[in-house]
Amino acid sequence: MRELFEYLNKLASKMCYAEKLYGIPINYVPLISDNEIIVYDKRDGSIKRLSDKKKLSDEELKSIEKEIIENIKSGKVELYLTLTFGEDIGLGEG
């Protein structure tokens, strides 16, 4: 789990940078968006289900840890962050 938290720390830094750049507060960023959406909550540094906003148990977190790391490594999570801003500030509107 140490590796995961190192990636989440870097992700939190990127979220803070994006907040300053765009002036929009970001509380959550999706980590997994398959069947159930799993998010990182920057406010308390936890990983939660979006549907009920409850923290995942250690067992649940261990079962999806590799998938989260892969999504961060591949840039998928950063893409979600970018798409959020594109929607919020109107990028791509003609």
How far is it, in rounded angstroms, from Cα 84 to Cα 91?
Answer: 10
What are the residue boundaries of the structural domains of the chain, listed by start?
A: 2-88
pLDDT single digits (tens) 11-58? 999 999 888 888 888 889 999 998 899 999 999 999 999 999 999 999
Angle CA 22–3–60, to nearest 5: 90
**Whole-prediction pTM value?**
0.82
